[in-house]
Structure 1
Amino acid sequence: MPLNLRIFTFQVIDFAGRIPFTLGNLRDLQVLDISDNDLSSTLSSSKSSFLSSLENCKSLLYLSFARNPLISGYLPDSIGNQSSSLRHFDASSCNISGRIPEDIGKWDLVEYVDFSENQFSGTIPDRVCVRENYLRYLSLHENQLEGMLPLSLTNCSNLQILNVANNNLSDTFPHWLGKLPVLRVLVLRSNRFHGSIPDTTNFSFPKFQISDLSHNYSTKFSFSNLQMVDLSHNDFTGLLPTEFFESLESLKEQANYVYGGYQYSVNLTIKGLEREFKIKESKPIFTCIDLSDNGFHGEIPEVVGELRSLHALNLSHNSLTGPIPPSFGNLASLESLDLSFNKLSGRIPSQLTNLTFLEVLRFSNNNFVGPIPHGKQFDTFENDSYQGNLGLCGFPLSKECSNDKISETAQDEEDNGNGIAFIWKVVMMGYGCGMVLGISMAYIVFTTGRPWWLVRMIERDLRNKVSTWFGKKRK
């Protein structure tokens, strides 16, 4: 093997055997990709470990040994000395255990770090972003990490994707991540995050110390660029965060793009199946909000209907009450809507028939009543979309609607759900009745003369009042 080799790629050929520690002799090596094989190695701080030997490769830019399940051991503390020029580090889907070394914070130029699907334990190191750097992608999902998210993540000003799903993290909602100006994907799924999600636009926390880091945060936070939000399978409670939805400015726009030099991937549960979404440079991103399997209660905010570029919305398995906001009819890009297993009530708004891209609809196990809207995509959904709502009727259910319910629905559609037409009808009816009565009285007066019965009644009333007044004066 020539010692001046710069690119070494051994990818997706099911190669087996031990990874030689002599790779460290390739001092000019810039790219090492041995992912998707059956290679084996025991990582440690020993010089016999291929990872430790790579410290000699001072020009290394790209390092990936992902998806080699026979690679075990732990990452040495000296990993921060790997290369001052390192940009990409992928150790996902191996069998690595132990703690994540704090020295990864020394990778000033690194843009991509993936430690997912391993056996890492302990806490996420405070020094993961000890100072401002170029980190864009950080994935730690499917490990055994505990504790809280480190506040030093606020130094990762270029961070676009943060995925810590399927761990044992226990924390409140990290509002301070709203300080990150380009954060687009936030996945906190299947942890033990808890508490309510209060006002995101006016949140502060006290001064904290992290090694040579010292900040005093008391500012406003906004998630204006966030496009993928997965908070499902946690212990969040309280009302749905209206201010949080209002801050999602990028979901109110039509074009959504992610910029970066790498292809990123994120696993999300969409349309009932877990799917991997590839996020490529300058390509539209699949937008979604998943707040399912929590303890949210109260009504769904109207502002959710302003997120016109949203593709998937999952609010299932909570304790939400009240009606579906008619503003949901504005979600023109929506492909999947899951509101099942809540306590929602009222009629299904006819405005939802405007959602022509809708493929998955789940309203089961709520308290909806009245006829199911029909037309366009709504004619394609089957019984299981509505089961567990005893008050619903109409296609595709076998329960037929009475004429009263059908006429009420037609009236609701005519009034567009706001009651304005009904109010104007009442006003015009009163105005018309008043005109008829006035004209009739005038006709009687001018054709028959004075109405003597009305004159005598007024005179008698005046005599009684005058007599009473004089009686009081005499006393």
Structure 2
Amino acid sequence: MYAPVSRDLILLEKVNISWGPLEGYLPPSIGNLTRLRILDLFRNSLTGRISFTLGNLRDLQVLDISDNDLSSTLSSSKSSFLSSLENCRFLSYLSFARNPLISGYLPASIGNQSSSLRHFDASSCNISGRIPGDIGKWNLVEYVDFSGNQFSGTIPDRVCVRKNNLRYLSLHENQLEGILPLSLINCSELQVLNVANNNLSDTFPHWLGLLPKLLVLVLRSNKFHGSIQDSLTNFSFSKLQMVDLSHNDFTGLLPTEFFQNLKSLKEEANYGYADYQYSVNLTTKGVEREFKIKELRPIFSCIDLSDNGFHGEIPKVVGELRSLHALNLSHNSLTGPIPPSFGNLAALESLDLSFNKLSGRIPSQLTNLTFLEVLRFSNNNFVGPIPHGKQFDTFDSYSYQENLGLCGFPLSKECSNDERSEPEQDEEDNGNGIAFIWKVAMMGYGCGMVLGISMAYIVFTTGRPWWLVRMIERDLRNKVSS
């Protein structure tokens, strides 16, 4: 038997013992604390069944019993505490996440939970069945996390049947199938959408670009397919700062327009401070990590398009994303050189271009990336000497293995004199020195054949003395104007 609840305890309005040493059962007599507004038992060692007497706490606003060993069969009318919580009409925060002994399926009546509900976290339990469409009735809800369960079927189209306040929707690590519902367009406040590690089969959802506040888009490890390029639409994704499309079946060229529209990554944003935080798990620097997201922006920005079927060259506009922290384009079929514009990625900490068909020299401009911690260029067709200086002196041979044409530290292969002296390609003419000489010769034809040929010869033999070119161009302009 449980000890009776004293009169003094009955008058309690707040119980906050999170991160505490509590053990044993959560007694049914807790339902006698009828004035309780906050019950926070997060991360203790509580066991046993969750009592339906919680429904007696009619003034309850916050209930957090996550990170315990509590059990419940949600689909059983005799032991389902969720149904009893319909009596708690002021409930705004409900979390029973990371209790693996909570099983069954969510009752269809869950849409009647509370007209005040803003936060619902049922992640990392053992819930199965379909996601009830009636969760779309939660008009005020901002945070919904169903990740790490056994949900099956499709994502209900009624999740956002009308405009609401939903900001965070995480459905990752389930068994969901089908496509993303178009009704997500109605979630105009949505900032985070995570559907990773499911069985979704769809084309790239360009229409999500209509969401004006979307910060995080994670489609990792599904069956998304086809090209990302779409000439029929012009959706901006202007606020997007975390995008993970890895481990899918996307094909085609890397979308230049998509990178051009990532305006929030082109300049360091100046957002105000916000206490309200989300989190998202992403794989970067070779390990899966949890990243915190402020209400207005992620603390960490990344683009992961790895393990797909992309081909063609890397667009130069990627080098304009100055606020980007991690870029992973590995395990594709990309060709051509690394754009020298990558030297402008001042905030970059991790760069993975491994397992592609990239070629040419590694641009010396990459030595400007002073925050670079992880570099993976292995299994490509790069040639020439490895750049030296700053962060590049800290990487070992693992970063460059299976590039037979590379030489210099940290590889054992030394560079020949010819390899050291070969000029790097210029971004403007892609290494075509002949094109440059032709421009000079044509300019000389208008103002003197001898002068033009002389310039071309000097440029060809000395490697473009720009001071001379600018001086002669200035003289030519003066002659023309006179």
Offset at residue 10 of structure 1 (A):
1.1
Alignment-mate amino acid for residue 361 of structure 2:
R
SS at match of 1:328: helix
Q: Please, which of 189, 192, 203 is the counterpart of residue 172 of structure 1?
A: 203
TM-score by length of 2: 0.82
Partner of 2:185: 154
Listed one character per residue, the Cα deviations across residues 8-36 of structure 1 (whole Å, up to 9, x for unaligned) are: 11111111111101100111111100000
The letter for the 1-side match of 2:329 is L
C-alpha deviation, 1:37, in angstroms: 0.3
Q: Cα gap change, 1:259/1:244 in structure 2, threshold over 3 Å: closer, same or farther?
A: farther
* Preserved CA contact (<8 Å) 1:306 1:327: yes
Q: Which has the larger radius of gyration?
A: 1
Structure 2 stretches lacking a partner, 5+ long: 1-31, 455-482
CA pair 404-71 structure 1, distance change in 2 beyond 3 A: same
Cα deviations by residue, 1:297-327 (Å, 9 ceiling, x for unpaired): 0000111111111000000000000111111
Residues 47 and 53, structure 1, Cα contact 8 Å, conserved in 2: no
Aligned ranges 1:322-471 → 2 under 5 Å: 322-409=336-423, 419=433, 423=437, 431=450
> Do the aligned partners of residues 418 and 281 (structure 1) sit closer, same or farther apart at CA in structure 2, a change above 3 Å counting?
farther
Is the alpha carbon distance of 1:257 and 1:163 closer, same or farther for their aligned partners in structure 2, counting shifts above 3 Å? Answer: farther
Partner of 1:96: 127
SS of the aligned residue for 1:277 comes to strand
Match of 1:443 in 2: none
Q: 2:450 corresponds to which letter in structure 1?
A: Y
**Which 5+ residue runs of structure 1 have no aligned equivalent?**
204-219, 436-475
Q: Is contact 2:110-2:134 (8 Å) kept?
A: yes
Which residue pairs with 2:13 in the alignment?
A: none
Q: Aligned in 2, Cα 1:259/1:234: closer, same or farther, shift over 3 Å?
A: farther
1:264-275 correspondence runs (5 A) = 264-275=278-289
Query: Any idea what SS the aligned residue of 1:122 has?
Result: strand
Matched, 1:307 2:321: yes
Distance 1:376 1:409, change over 3 A: farther
Q: Is the 8 A contact 2:241 2:298 kept in 1?
A: no
Asked whether the 8 Å contact 2:215–2:297 carries over to 1, the reply is: no
Q: Decide which of 287, 292, 300 is 2:306's aligned counterpart.
A: 292
Q: 1:14 and 1:257, CA in 2 relative to 1: closer, same or farther beyond 3 A?
A: farther
One-letter amino acid matched to 1:337? L
SS at the partner of 2:378? coil
Selected match of 2:45 from 6, 11, 14: 14
* Aligned: 1:144 with 2:175: yes
> Whole-Å Cα distance in 2 between the matches of residues 141 and 123 of structure 1?
13
User: Would you say how many aligned residue pairs link Structure 1 and Structure 2?
Assistant: 417
Q: Is the 8 A contact 1:257 1:282 kept in 2?
A: yes
Per-residue CA deviation, residues 259-298 of structure 1 (Å, 9 max, x unaligned), is 8663211100100011010113467520000000000000
Match of 2:158, SS state, is helix
1:45 Cα offset (Å): 6.0
**Distance in 1 between residues matched to 2:424 and 2:198, nearest whole Å:** 50
Counterparts of 1:113-262 in structure 2, within 5 Å, are 113-199=144-230, 202-203=232-233, 220-255=234-269, 257=271, 262=276
Residue 110, structure 1, aligned to residue 141, structure 2: yes
Q: Which residue of 1 aligns with 2:107?
A: 76
Distance verdict in 2 for CA 1:194–1:86, change over 3 Å: same
Are 1:31 and 2:62 matched, yes or no? yes
CA RMSD, 1 decimal: 2.3
Counterpart in 1 of 2:25? none
Moved more, 32-41 or 4-13: 4-13
Instruction: Give the conservation status (yes or no) of the 8 Å contact 2:251–2:308.
Output: yes
Using the alignment, how far apart are the partners of 2:433 and 2:297 within structure 1? 43
What one-letter code is carried by the residue in structure 2 that aligns with 1:353?
A: T
Q: Which moved more, 1:64-73 or 1:422-431?
A: 422-431
Secondary structure in structure 1 of the residue aligned to 2:111? helix
Closer/same/farther in 2, CA of residues 108 and 263 from structure 1, 3 Å limit:
same
**In 2, Cα distance between the equivalents of 1:72 and 1:53?**
17
In the TM superposition, residue 417 of structure 1 has moved relative to its aligned partner by 6.0
SS of the aligned residue for 2:45 comes to coil
Equivalent residue number for residue 449 of structure 1: none
Name the % identity: 84
CA distance in 1, matches of 2:174, 2:54: 28
User: Structure 1 pair 384/151, CA: closer, same or farther in 2 (3 Å)?
Assistant: same
Q: What do residues 326-377 of structure 1 show as CA deviations (whole Å, max 9, x unaligned)?
A: 1111111111000000000111111111111111100000000111111111
Which amino acid in the other structure matches residue 372 of structure 1?
A: I
Query: Aligned to 1:304, what secondary structure does the other structure show?
Result: helix
